[in-house]
Amino acid sequence: MMTQEAIGFSQRLGILLRCLSRNCPRCAQGPISGLGYFKEVCSNCGLVLDRKNGFLLAALPYTYFIFAVLWLLPLLILWAQSLLSYPMAFGLVAVGALVWPLLLYNYCKMIALGQYYFFLPKELNRI
């Protein structure tokens, strides 16, 4: 449990790393997310992980940023170098636009959760 004292950078980094390793930011038990699931409440400490109303909305830009950097940009470069035909590049981008978000979204929720508690670590004391 966090105390009400000032929370240092290393503690904040620990919270972020717990989230990036798919564990609860408060009790470090996990995993709390996977390819097909994201727990709304930690089964160990009861921390509400998804507060709804767009709480984890930051996962969407993370998802599309990763898609753009790891999929769209390399395909664009291959197409610009004439190593891929336009229909092939377009098809791969279209398929990737559907598959990448499905694969990444739950993990990107963990990134969003880590980001939130990195900046507001005292919120971990809330139920």
> Does 110 sit near Zn ion (CB under 5 A)?
no
Nearer to Zn ion, 7 or 24 (CB): 24
Buried b (16+ CB within 10 A) or exposed e, 65-85: ebbeeebbeebeeebeeeebe
The alpha carbon torsion through 37, 65, 121, 6 (nearest 10 deg) reads 160
**Minimum Å distance from CB 46 to Zn ion?**
7
**Minimum Å distance from CB 3 to Zn ion?**
17
x/- binding map, residues 13-52, to Zn ion, per CB under 5 A?
Answer: -----------x-xx--------------x-xx-x-----
Nearer to Zn ion, 33 or 63 (CB): 33
Nearer to Zn ion, 27 or 72 (CB): 27
